[in-house]
Structure 1
């Protein structure tokens, strides 16, 4: 049995058991990367030493420890355990006991917010862009406290009017979200509306606002080619990565090494501004999709008009 055959059986069971449909395309890329490293496609020949060597290869290649632990090795571990449990592989689990011992790639630095100067630089650059992802995602993430990875998956139908207030709907139907609390309705800040966001939504001719779901390209070891592989790559992830590259190109000292991951720094910036202007914590939690820590704040949903009135307190990032 080849890795491809094993993976297809795992994929079928994963989907039948209600697993996330976005996981198989991503994990297939990780499995193929492992196969390319091995130089063969026979899972029964894989030893624990092979997996250890691959772990060391990931570390030396500069992949962050958390990424490698939760993605590359998690995929391998699940596939091998599935094959063994189903009687498809006559071997002991080669991933058993393989851990990341070194902490040299782990950063203890807390993720921080963009500074006001960084926020201004990014949003001014966004205002000069025509490409939808660059034009709108920075503003949407800044003024909703959402992750880039969430906003990038927005669909045409996720822009809705509720109680005469334009909102975005964030749901697992659009793409992966972190927790149940992440599903929410968020009013759109007037600064975004003034820039013509609704006109953009109405003018776009595709279901997804920022990604092309018809694209079928495959990324492996840094090379992008037209794919003949059945599972497509994750187009949302690619759009997010390209947007992050553009943000880095603006010459700011940002990134995980500086404690300012673009996927999270807007989120922290929004929470700081919400605190500064006195938005109640319960309403901030509702906007950013945080589970409320205090039991006394868990009861009673926040209405859209109330959220919108509070959201309007966030000042124009370009004017201060």
Structure 2
């Protein structure tokens, strides 16, 4: 956890608390308290996990005190810090006007006896509602109250702008409706409610709702997925996404997140990222987590549901997999690879990296596996099953996109090239990256996978338009179809999910996979 977050963690004799100091000027609005605390229990790890959500709740209390201070004229608030829609501001103004009317009736009988309503003022309000009043006339009518809501941080609308005029007309509706209630009350009817759709359909401001920490939502979503064996990659892939989002909107409260926030964020991301990355990674991550939050009653609405980004159609000028000639060139380079000689041992290539460059392309070619599934292999993942030499791809070694393990028979040419001799001569543990207890296996496997890719690209044996590693998956499927192998069997070997519910019935046995693998032709190396 970043040091900044630790400043809110308090340890008192083995009991942990989230702590937030109350600014001196806000203490009168929080019962004179100098700090706020929330108990987090005695387990430090659990306390740290709960810290962000607890701090968000405390910050919400500080924000409410800040607003009460601003309403009392004691404190200025940054413009737009607590934004409300025009209808919400109008609704708040409506209730405040009627509250004032109630106070006056309770404190001064002459007020109620007069029953006076300024008809000229009412006509000016009607002109404002209709859009017939100019900005100067609107300012004279309700400009002082718009400025008050600006000081409270509910709007940043500037005089003369379209947004200011929209708010001014909404305030005219609010005043007109409140005066209608005043007239009704003068006749003894206190049951009236606003009839104008702007107020009748307005969603009350969510000021008193406790905040929902975006960071905590992500953590809880991932934990929920991991319980059922999913979400292994979500933390690594989505962590930076939500860090970026929180930085862009300036807070961590999902309750305050708006569709406009996300649209602005999306447009900013497009300045540096491709539309596909924005659509498939950034927006998809936010939409998924918020959808989970709604389904689990953590939020009432998913504001990201309609925020999309169109992705340009990809124009392909060639096949995505290697051709036979291209595949042969890559495999020849791989089998002939020798690391550069270095006098300084520190600069020498790790033997595991050398092994990855020699064997990873070969294994990809004959299994159609993902490169990281190959580079995460351990010695214990290679075994004999009767007469069949088997490679097990398992999440226990790092990660598997489909979630479960799968056994893949080794092609005869892989065996003839001496792969089992290499495995038997290797120490226990990972085959293609150094075995370090303090290093994440996934990181080690991905690091060496990247080095293999960079090396092949530098050799210029990988054509433009083909992924140095993923090109093997395309080729494996293409060759399998040419050899008449069913897609169901190819998918089982490659780790692709079945296309229909029927594909999940029955098993593709090791014998079936072995017969399929043996039908793949050899390469002339």
Decide: shared fold, TM above 0.5.
yes
Query: Per-residue deviation at 1:51?
Result: 1.8
Q: Partner residue of 2:476?
A: 270
Q: Give CA-to-partner distance per residue, 1:99-149, whole Å, 9 cap, x none.
A: 01x332x41538622022221222122220552332221111101122224
Selected match of 1:24 from 221, 235, 252: 235
Aligned residues: 294
Q: Partner residue of 1:189?
A: 411
Selected match of 1:75 from 268, 285, 294: 285
CA contact 2:330–2:462 (8 Å) conserved in 1? no
Query: Per-residue deviation at 1:191?
Result: 2.5
Q: Which protein is richer in helix relative to its size?
A: 2
Query: Per-residue deviation at 1:160?
Result: 1.5
Q: Partner residue of 2:325?
A: 117
Q: Partner residue of 1:97?
A: 306
Q: Partner residue of 1:142?
A: 365
Q: Give CA-to-partner distance per residue, 1:156-178, whole Å, 9 cap, x none.
A: 33212112221112344445445
Instruction: Output aligned runs, 1:280-319, within 5 Å.
Output: 280-281=485-486, 284=490, 286-289=492-495, 291=498, 301-304=508-511, 307-308=513-514, 311-319=517-525
Assess, with a 3 A threshold, how the Cα gap between structure 1 residues 192 and 5 changes in structure 2: closer, same or farther.
Answer: same
Query: Per-residue deviation at 1:234?
Result: 4.8
Assess, with a 3 A threshold, how the Cα gap between structure 1 residues 309 and 8 changes in structure 2: closer, same or farther.
Answer: closer
SS in 2 for 1:207: coil
Matches of 2:242 and 2:311, distance apart in 1: 24
CA contact 2:321–2:471 (8 Å) conserved in 1? yes
Q: Give CA-to-partner distance per residue, 1:255-306, whole Å, 9 cap, x none.
A: 6xx2x23443212323343455x4543654553345488979x7674443x6
Any unmatched runs of 5+ in structure 2? 1-55, 57-212, 339-350
Q: Give CA-to-partner distance per residue, 1:197-216, whole Å, 9 cap, x none.
A: 22333344453333567565
Q: Give CA-to-partner distance per residue, 1:29-86, whole Å, 9 cap, x none.
A: 33224345x2745234543233223323443324351x43332223222334455666
SS in 2 for 1:318: coil
SS in 2 for 1:166: strand
CA contact 1:149–1:236 (8 Å) conserved in 2? yes
SS in 2 for 1:160: strand
Q: Partner residue of 1:107?
A: 314
Q: Partner residue of 1:208?
A: 430
SS in 2 for 1:141: helix
Name the Cα RMSD after superposition: 3.9
Any unmatched runs of 5+ in structure 1? 218-231
CA contact 1:25–1:234 (8 Å) conserved in 2? no
Query: Per-residue deviation at 1:252?
Result: 4.3
SS in 1 for 2:459: coil
Assess, with a 3 A threshold, how the Cα gap between structure 1 residues 184 and 19 changes in structure 2: closer, same or farther.
Answer: closer
SS in 2 for 1:60: coil
Q: Which structure has the bigger radius of gyration?
A: 2
Matches of 1:15 and 1:294, distance apart in 2: 24
Assess, with a 3 A threshold, how the Cα gap between structure 1 residues 81 and 300 changes in structure 2: closer, same or farther.
Answer: closer
Q: Partner residue of 2:334?
A: 126
CA contact 1:111–1:264 (8 Å) conserved in 2? no
Matches of 1:200 and 1:275, distance apart in 2: 31
Assess, with a 3 A threshold, how the Cα gap between structure 1 residues 71 and 239 changes in structure 2: closer, same or farther.
Answer: farther
Q: Partner residue of 1:247?
A: 456
SS in 2 for 1:51: helix
CA contact 2:379–2:428 (8 Å) conserved in 1? yes
CA contact 2:360–2:371 (8 Å) conserved in 1? yes
Instruction: Output aligned runs, 1:163-174, within 5 Å.
Output: 163-174=386-397
Matches of 1:286 and 1:53, distance apart in 2: 43
Assess, with a 3 A threshold, how the Cα gap between structure 1 residues 215 and 141 changes in structure 2: closer, same or farther.
Answer: farther
TM-score, normalising length from structure 1?
Answer: 0.72
Query: Per-residue deviation at 1:12?
Result: 3.5
